[in-house]
Amino acid sequence: MNPDFLTTARPISRLIQELNKLPGIGPKTAQRLAYHLLQAPPERSRDLADAVLGIKENLKLCTICLNITDTDPCGLCADETRDVTKVCVVEEPIDILPLERTRKFRGLYHVLHGVISPSDGIKPEDLRIRELLERLNRTGITEVILATNPNVEGEATSMYIQRLISPLGIRVTRLARGLPFGGDLEYADDVTLSRALEGRQEM
């Protein structure tokens, strides 16, 4: 048994345990957060608890892009200034954030909610690929940008989707793979460097 149980009041150790389950929060951080909340005014705990529950109660998937949203359609799909002819396919809702930060892309998104992973038994049917195809049939999308992660599962998923879309006569593009900014050639791996050479551009 954890010796802390003897010295820590049960509600506190319960909170510590729960916080500890969160990503990036180790036992020490969990303790600090728990004691911080203990000393903070009660409203703060209530606000936090409300916010935590709120993400479970009020959120749903956008019926168009399957992003997580509280309004349907989501803010991005409802935005009339966006280019409705381009759709960017991402693995997870969180992948939209870095793409939006670039301010380079003004089209819409489609969230797959996963990647094909044969060794984990994750199949195309487990992803939202069907919804993507239906969307392509229904709307006037002319370009699909595949933005899955540049690892084997992401590549496999992209190649698979490309194969399904190409008969529809829609342009399919893939995010370029190359050297990270601020990186160093010496430390680049062979795949990245090969892709960077393949995708070199006129200056």
User: Which parts of this chain interact with other proteins (CB under 8 A)?
Assistant: 23-24, 116, 118-121, 123-125, 129-130, 133-134, 137, 151-152, 155-156, 159-160, 163-164, 167, 180, 182-183, 187-192, 194
To other proteins, the closest distance from the beta carbon of 104 in angstroms equals 17
Alpha-carbon span 131 to 112, nearest angstrom: 9
To other proteins, the closest distance from the beta carbon of 73 in angstroms equals 23
Helix (H, G, I), strand (E, B), or coil: what is residue 107? strand
Q: Which is nearer to other proteins, 10 or 101 (CB)?
A: 101
To other proteins, the closest distance from the beta carbon of 197 in angstroms equals 11
Q: Which is nearer to other proteins, 121 or 169 (CB)?
A: 121
Q: Which is nearer to other proteins, 24 or 42 (CB)?
A: 24
Residue 192's contacts (CB-CB under 8 Å, 6 or more residues apart) are 177, 178, 179
Q: Which is nearer to other proteins, 12 or 164 (CB)?
A: 164
Q: Which is nearer to other proteins, 189 or 202 (CB)?
A: 189
Q: Which is nearer to other proteins, 75 or 118 (CB)?
A: 118
To other proteins, the closest distance from the beta carbon of 101 in angstroms equals 14
DSSP character for 147?
A: -
Alpha-carbon span 1 to 4, nearest angstrom: 9
| Half-sphere exposure (Cβ direction) of 175: Cα atoms closer than 13 Å | 21
As beta bridge partners, residue 83 has 107
Residue 15's contacts (CB-CB under 8 Å, 6 or more residues apart) are 34, 37
To other proteins, the closest distance from the beta carbon of 39 in angstroms equals 28
Helix (H, G, I), strand (E, B), or coil: what is residue 86? strand
To other proteins, the closest distance from the beta carbon of 13 in angstroms equals 23
Torsion (CA) 88, 90, 96, 100 in degrees, nearest 10? -30
Both tokens assigned to 181:
């900014």
Report which residue type is found at 141: I
